[in-house]
Structure 1
Amino acid sequence: MLRIGTWRSAESVDVVVCGWRDSDSGPFETGVKLIYGAGRPMPEFPGLRVGAPVARCAEEIAALLSQGLDVVLTAPGCCPAAPVVAAGIWHYRWTRGDTGALAGATVAGLALAAHPGPCWLELWRDGRGSLDGDVPAAAVHACLAGHFPDGRYRTPEVTVPLESVRLSQVAPSRIRIALRPGAVTT
């Protein structure tokens, strides 16, 4: 499982990515990685490898994480879902062929980015996720709908139809995020 969290203050890190071992076997990298919006005042990160290039998309963020950087800077205007999609690519080694997982991570990333306060997202290998924060599923769905102006959200990797998004309130502060199988296109 991959755990991704946010802080929401002007002077803090935007996204913190923590990976840990799944029940699946195979190669595994773990650690805390920071994905930070460029152009903001950035605190000192002593002992961490900070990336000089500014990433413009999920694949660039993932490539920098895979190169061993601890802090990756993102360009202004970067897709709000890109940090979560990149974390999935880095942690699970997803490729463009993993359309279902990429689409699920895209929706989870948009939900995380729309959350107004600090929160956590758990992301599984297949792209399903759970958002932990103090917001109801209906409010998350309304925020997501704003990102789907024509009923679809397009990234370089996938196109996600809004009608395929499934949100369920599984606890007062926990929302499960999934997609209807087969609804994603490349």
Structure 2
Amino acid sequence: MLRIGTWRSAESVDVVVCGWRDSGPGQLRTGTKLIYATGGPVPALPGLRVGSRAACGAGEIARALLQGLDVVITAPGCCPAAPVVAAGMWHYGWTRGDLGALAGATVAGLALAAQPGPCVAEICRDGRSSLDGNVTEPALRACLAAWFAGGRYRTPEVTVPLESVRLSQVAPSRIRIAPCAGTP
């Protein structure tokens, strides 16, 4: 399971934290990667490998993670869904052929970016996800609709039609996002 969280406050830079825990066969793996989503200063992080240049887009962020960086800085104007899509590409090995997973991660990334405070998204291998935070299904649907100009959201990896987005409120502060359709 891939867990991606944000924390936002007036005192901190905007950070996306990607954590994972694999419980498959073999040794248990856990870890954390940081993706700084703003051009602000990066605090000293002794012992962590920090990227020297800003990555733009999910593909570049994923390549930086695959190269072993612990901290990736994103360029200003980067797609708000890119850190979540990149984390899935890095963790699950998604390629441009995994349209459903990329589409689901894109919706989860947009949903996470729309939250004003701390929030966590869990992303599954098939692109299903859930969002935990101060969030309701109607409010999230309205935020997502604003992103989908002409009924579609386009990234370099996938185009997501708004009609394929399925949200359900499963708890007072938890929304499930069903797998979405995507086209190249």
TM-score (norm 2): 0.94
The match for 2:68 is 68
Structure 1 unmatched runs, 5+ = none
**Mapped contact 1:13–1:34 kept (Cα < 8 A):** no
Partner amino acid, structure 2, of 1:12: V
The match for 1:12 is 13
**Mapped contact 1:30–1:91 kept (Cα < 8 A):** no
- Distance in 1 of aligned mates of 2:140 and 2:109: 12
Q: Work out whether 1:145 is the aligned partner of 2:145.
A: yes
Change (3 A) 1:148 1:27: farther
CA apart distance, 1:38: 4.4
Change (3 A) 1:104 1:145: same
The match for 1:97 is 97
CA RMSD, Structure 1 to Structure 2 (Å): 1.7
**Tell me, what secondary structure is at the counterpart of 1:65?**
helix
Partner amino acid, structure 2, of 1:21: D
**Mapped contact 1:57–1:79 kept (Cα < 8 A):** yes
Partner amino acid, structure 2, of 1:134: N
How many residues are treated as equivalent by the alignment? 183
The match for 1:79 is 79
**Mapped contact 1:165–1:177 kept (Cα < 8 A):** yes
Change (3 A) 1:45 1:105: same
CA apart distance, 1:42: 1.9
Partner amino acid, structure 2, of 1:79: C
- Distance in 1 of aligned mates of 2:175 and 2:144: 13
CA apart distance, 1:26: 8.6
The match for 2:177 is 177
Partner amino acid, structure 1, of 2:58: A
CA apart distance, 1:12: 3.4
* Greater than 2 Å deviation, 4+ residue runs: 9-13, 25-30
The match for 1:56 is 56
Change (3 A) 1:28 1:78: farther
Please show how residues 123-162 of structure 1 align to structure 2 within 5 Å.
123-162=123-162
What is the CA deviation profile of residues 1-41 of structure 1, one whole-angstrom value per residue up to 9, with x for unaligned ones?
10000011252351000011155x59996410000034212
